[in-house]
């Protein structure tokens, strides 16, 4: 099949592209905001790379025989939106451009959503929960999901939204301060530095290794389904657990430093209910937190 990956030079996109390219004709569309050409070095001779925005997908890509679009080229961190609130409109308008392209080509769309939509809601987090107003980032992601539902209803486009839970793994360094806390702690501790934890470290996340996310994306492509699904592990770990796990893998005994939490509307806990995604896609996570950390190391 002919596949387009927006954000394909980014963290999740490059990991997905490396698997897709083994069996498919892949084009990457990326503006390299938080992505890196280095993430594509091992496959650059096997893929087409377009430097551009998904908002201009129709101009950037004249090829009308794309079968599947993975729309991952969406700013993916809450602080980005807090610093630049107009990103909310950009994220939604870019998604509309992708859905318009799919409407004209008949391509299936699989797009990235976020577990941040569950901010303030009890765990385990289910897809049928009513999302509350939390921050600019969640408003953007919810807006994209609602527009996707509209395009599916009006034009019968096959569209799958995946609510990713705290994804970490290789190729994340280009994200810098926006990288997952697992990766940030690991980089600090590998360098012999002390990781800094907001609060008491008992906040929890459903940390998901990127290879599991890639598998969920491919299942979403292959299955004849539309809708929104959680992608996580169904297991949560505290930030303190992360430090313990990294110490275990590295053979170190580094203690974290605790500071007051400066973030308003901080997400206290996330935990994916996987019932829907298991039933519809046959998805089961394969990596524990320790296995994921060991894989990166």
Quick: pLDDT tens for 116-167. Answer: 999 999 999 999 999 988 889 999 999 999 999 999 999 999 999 999 999 9
Render pLDDT for 237-271 as a digit per residue (tens, 0 to 9).
999 999 999 999 999 999 999 999 888 778 889 99
Q: Do 123 and 180 belong together in one domain?
A: no
Cα–Cα distance for residue pair 248/46, rounded to 1 Å: 38
| Domain total in the chain | 2
Same domain, 175 and 141: no
Domain match, 123 and 199 both: no
Three state DSSP letters for the chain: CEEEEECCCCHHHHHHHHHHCCCCEEEEEECCCCCCHHHHHHHCCCCEEEECCHHHHHHHCCCCCCCEEEECCCCCCHHHHHHCCCHHHHHHHHHHHHHHHHHHHCCEEEEEEEHHHHCCCCCCECCCCCCCCCCHHHHHHHHHHHHHHHHHHHHCCCEEEEEECCEECCCCHHHHHHCCHHHHHHHHHHCCCCCEEECCCCCEECCEEHHHHHHHHHHHHHCCCCEEEEECCCCCEEHHHHHHHHHHHHCCCCCCEEECCCCCCCCCECCECCHHHHHHHCCCCCCCHHHHHHHHC
Give CA–CA dist 148/158, Å, rounded.
Answer: 9
The predicted pLDDT at position 77 comes to 79
CATH number of the domain residue 11 falls in: 3.40.50.720
pLDDT of res. 265: 74
Residue range of the domain that includes 187: 168-205+235-266+287-296
Q: Are strands 68-71 and 2-6 parallel, antiparallel or unpaired?
A: parallel
CATH of the domain at 239: 3.90.25.10
Is 70 exceeded by the pLDDT of residue 63? no
Whether the per-residue pLDDT at 230 is higher than 80: the answer is: yes
Q: What are phi and psi of 24, to 5 degrees?
A: -135, 165
Residue 271 resides in a domain: no
Same domain, 101 and 69: yes
Q: Is residue 275 part of a domain?
A: no
CB–CB of 43/18 below 8 Å?
yes
Domain identity same for 122 and 184? no
pTM score > 0.75 for this model? yes
* 174: confidence class by pLDDT, cuts 50, 70, 90: confident
Q: At 204, list the tokens.
A: 């929890």
């Amino acid at each position: 099949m002919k596949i387009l990956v927006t954000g394909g030079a980014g963290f999740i996109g490059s990991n997905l592209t490396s698997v897709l390219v083994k069996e498919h004709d892949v084009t990457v569309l990326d503006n390299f905001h938080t992505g890196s050409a280095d993430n594509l070095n091992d496959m650059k001779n096997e893929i087409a790379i377009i430097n551009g925005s998904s908002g201009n997908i129709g101009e950037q890509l004249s090829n009308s025989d794309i079968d599947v679009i993975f729309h991952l080229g969406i700013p993916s961190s809450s602080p980005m939106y807090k610093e630049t609130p107009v990103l909310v409109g950009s994220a939604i308008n870019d998604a509309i451009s992708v859905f318009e392209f799919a409407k004209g080509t008949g391509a299936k769309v699989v797009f990235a959503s976020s577990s941040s939509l569950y901010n303030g809601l009890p765990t385990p987090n289910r897809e049928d929960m009513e999302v509350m107003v939390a921050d600019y980032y969640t408003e953007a992601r919810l807006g994209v999901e609602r527009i996707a539902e509209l395009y599916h209803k009006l034009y019968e486009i096959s569209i799958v939204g995946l609510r990713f839970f705290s994804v970490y793994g290789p190729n994340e360094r280009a994200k810098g301060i926006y990288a997952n806390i697992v990766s940030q702690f690991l980089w600090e501790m590998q360098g012999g530095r002390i990781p800094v934890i907001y609060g008491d470290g008992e906040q929890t996340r459903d940390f998901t290794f990127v290879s599991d996310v890639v598998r969920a994306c491919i299942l979403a492509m292959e299955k004849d389904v539309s809708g929104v699904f959680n992608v996580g592990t169904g297991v949560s770990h505290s930030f303190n657990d992360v430090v313990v796990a990294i110490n275990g893998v590295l053979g170190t005994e580094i203690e974290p430093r605790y500071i007051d939490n400066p973030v308003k509307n901080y997400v206290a806990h996330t935990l994916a209910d996987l019932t829907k995604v298991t039933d519809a896609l046959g998805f089961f996570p394969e990596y524990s937190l320790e296995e994921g950390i060991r894989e990166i190391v």
